[in-house]
Structure 1
Amino acid sequence: MAKALLGHVGGPDPRMVSEMRRLQQRVRDLEAELARLQTENDALAATSDEVSLGVKDREPALT
């Protein structure tokens, strides 16, 4: 119990603070990656709509 009290009174554990900062940075990196991929996906979806118009007009090869 003395160790628990000493740890509590001694302030935040530097390893815990370091891990928290690392995880916060990882979340920011993942959010930025998500935004980049959503933008890329929107651009691809816009171009696929243009391309798919010609594909829908074609007849099937085998009937």
Structure 2
Amino acid sequence: MAKAIVGFIGGPTPSQLRDSAMLRRRVADLEAEVLRLKVENDGLLKALREQVDHVTAGDLLEPVAGHR
């Protein structure tokens, strides 16, 4: 229906076309940022898992410096 209304009133204005293009670019930028953060997060989780894999029961029983 929106397309029919826009067609009825003569189509989008140059300003609407610019705004639409700007919004599409912004969405693409945000999607790229989400992907970058996901890759970074996956790397951090992998590094954390590797550290946790090296923890032994003895490590958990050792007192932390300054805490008794």
TM-score (norm 1): 0.71
Which whole-Å CA distance do the structure 1 matches of 2:22 and 2:9 have between them?
22
Q: Does residue 49 in structure 1 map to residue 36 in structure 2?
A: no
**What's the % identity of the aligned pairs?**
34
Higher fraction of helix: 1
Corresponding residue for residue 19 of structure 1:
19
| Alignment size in residue pairs | 56
For structure 1, the 5+ residue unaligned runs are 1-6
CA distance 1:28–1:56, shift in 2 (3 Å): farther
RMSD, aligned CA? 2.3
Deviation for aligned residue 1:49: 0.6
Aligned to 2:9: 8
Which blocks of at least 5 consecutive residues in structure 2 are unaligned?
1-7
